[in-house]
């Protein structure tokens, strides 16, 4: 995917896969953090959301931004738990078509590119950015621009898919490159690179955590859901999954099919530890 076309490419990909993921994943597309191996997934996800909202001090926030809100589940939860206003933005109209079902008096959604956050011309005191920064073509630039829309002392919770430090070229080619190609991910940061870029971009690091061990049940679950989809879906179902706001034809079918090898490579990437799921809580200095 080229930097010049990422906007259109992202819109196409999610126009093809939004309904597929809505059917098999629901309104959220991020991982639950588990306290132990026997905890039910729903309970782990509920506790994860509670912890994220506490980290963002959502109960005191006046203006909250959810960047790359997807199908809107977490933005909706935040809106239910804050007296403030919540704005969810996403680059994909098809994702937003799901999110808009969840609008309420203090929650709105808008199509907007995370790379151009400064053009929002509003400031916020809590910002969430879950499982989506990996898609950005220039993460340092995005983080600098996000800082511009944060009030001093405002908090940003970034949870992102990163790569392990010091991977060899062949390790990256064999495991990460295929999944990145299928998902339109231009490159992955490492934890250390994020830490450096935060400290250089006007943020104070409050907490960093590599969550791989605690989110492990999710990729088994994701893989099982992909298998279930394979078992249930026939060739005739695929065109019906494509969002009708975009005419994709054959390209849309290929994008849906790409999700299945992606699921396999993602499982391998996490099982072998090359893919890392990292939590960053930072504050505008
Ligand atoms: C894996 S989903 C995560 C959605 C949501 N944050 C969640 O956790 O449920 C990734 C989302 O990132 C959005 N996205 C990708 N690139 C974007 C960009 N440049 N600006 C805004 N949204 C973007 C996609 O449209 C998609 O909805």
Evaluate whether 152 touches 283 at the Cβ level (below 8 Å). Answer: no
Q: What confidence score (pLDDT) does residue 244 get? A: 83
Confidence label for 1 from pLDDT (cuts 50, 70 and 90): low
How close is the Cα of 37 to the center of ligand 1, in Å? 28
Distance CA 252, CA 177 (A): 21
pLDDT digits (tens, 9 = 90+) for 160-210: 999 999 999 999 999 999 999 999 999 999 999 999 999 999 999 999 999
Q: Is 65 in the pocket of ligand 1 (CB under 6 A)?
A: no
Has residue 3 got a pLDDT over 70? no
Q: Is 243 in the pocket of ligand 1 (CB under 6 A)?
A: no
Instruction: Tell which atom from ligand 1 comes closest to the C-alpha of 27.
Output: 9
Q: Which residue has the higher pLDDT, 233 or 212?
A: 212
Q: What confidence score (pLDDT) does residue 20 get? A: 87
* End-to-end CA gap in the chain: 34
Confidence label for 23 from pLDDT (cuts 50, 70 and 90): confident
Q: Give percent of the chain with pLDDT exceeding 70.
A: 99
Q: What confidence score (pLDDT) does residue 221 get? A: 84
How close is the Cα of 131 to the center of ligand 1, in Å? 7
Please state, rounded to an integer, the average pLDDT across all residues of the chain: 93
Structural domain of 92: 3-284
Q: Is 48 in the pocket of ligand 1 (CB under 6 A)?
A: no
Backbone phi, psi, residue 281, to 5°: -115, 120
Q: Is 120 in the pocket of ligand 1 (CB under 6 A)?
A: no
pTM above 0.75, yes or no: yes
Distance CA 84, CA 106 (A): 7
Q: What confidence score (pLDDT) does residue 65 get? A: 98
pLDDT digits (tens, 9 = 90+) for 130-143: 999 999 999 999 99
How close is the Cα of 200 to the center of ligand 1, in Å? 25
Find the mean pLDDT for residues 121-137: 97
CA dihedral 266, 256, 48, 63 (to 10 degrees): 130
Backbone phi, psi, residue 15, to 5°: -65, -35
The CATH number of residue 267's host domain is 3.40.50.150
Confidence label for 246 from pLDDT (cuts 50, 70 and 90): confident
Confidence label for 116 from pLDDT (cuts 50, 70 and 90): very high
How close is the Cα of 284 to the center of ligand 1, in Å? 22
Q: Which residue(s) pair with 107 in the sheet?
A: 86, 104
Ligand 1 mutation pick, 24, 45, 88, 135, max ligand atoms within 8 A of CB:
135
pLDDT digits (tens, 9 = 90+) for 52-80: 999 999 999 999 999 999 999 999 999 99
Q: How many domains does the chain have?
A: 1
Distance CA 63, CA 83 (A): 9
Q: Is 131 in the pocket of ligand 1 (CB under 6 A)?
A: yes
Hunting for tokens 């991982």 — which residue is that? 31
Q: Is 133 in the pocket of ligand 1 (CB under 6 A)?
A: no
Q: Give percent of the chain with pLDDT exceeding 90.
A: 74
Q: Is 198 in the pocket of ligand 1 (CB under 6 A)?
A: no
DSSP 63-111: EEEEET-TTSHHHHHHHHT-SSEEEEEES-HHHHHHHGGG-BTTEEEEE
Distance CA 259, CA 201 (A): 35
Q: What confidence score (pLDDT) does residue 250 get? A: 86
């Amino acid at each position: 995917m080229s930097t010049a076309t990422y906007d259109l490419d992202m819109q196409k990909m999610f126009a093809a896969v939004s309904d597929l993921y809505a059917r098999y994943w629901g309104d959220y597309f991020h991982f639950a953090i588990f306290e132990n191996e026997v905890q039910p997934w729903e309970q782990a996800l509920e506790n994860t959301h509670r912890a994220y909202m506490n980290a963002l001090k959502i109960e005191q926030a006046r203006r909250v931004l959810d960047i790359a809100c997807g199908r809107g589940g977490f933005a909706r939860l935040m809106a239910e738990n804050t007296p403030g206003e919540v704005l969810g933005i996403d680059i994909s109209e098809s994702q937003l078509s799901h999110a808009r079902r969840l609008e309420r008096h203090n929650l709105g959604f808008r199509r907007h590119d995370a790379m151009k956050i400064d053009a929002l011309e509003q400031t916020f005191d809590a910002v969430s950015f879950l499982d989506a920064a990996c898609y950005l073509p220039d993460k340092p630039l995005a983080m600098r621009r996000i800082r511009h829309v944060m009030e001093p002392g405002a908090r940003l919770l970034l949870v992102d898919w990163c790569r392990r430090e010091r991977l060899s070229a062949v390790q990256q080619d064999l495991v990460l490159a295929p999944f990145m190609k299928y998902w339109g991910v231009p490159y992955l940061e490492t934890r250390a690179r994020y830490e450096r870029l935060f400290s250089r971009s006007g943020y104070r690091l409050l907490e960093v955590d590599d969550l791989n061990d605690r989110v492990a049940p999710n990729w088994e679950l994701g893989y099982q859901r992909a298998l279930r989809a394979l078992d249930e879906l026939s060739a005739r179902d695929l065109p019906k999954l494509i969002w009708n706001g975009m005419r994709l034809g054959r390209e849309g079918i290929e994008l849906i099919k790409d999700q299945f090898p992606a699921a396999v490579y993602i499982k391998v990437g996490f099982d072998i530890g090359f893919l890392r799921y990292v939590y960053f809580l930072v504050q505008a200095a």
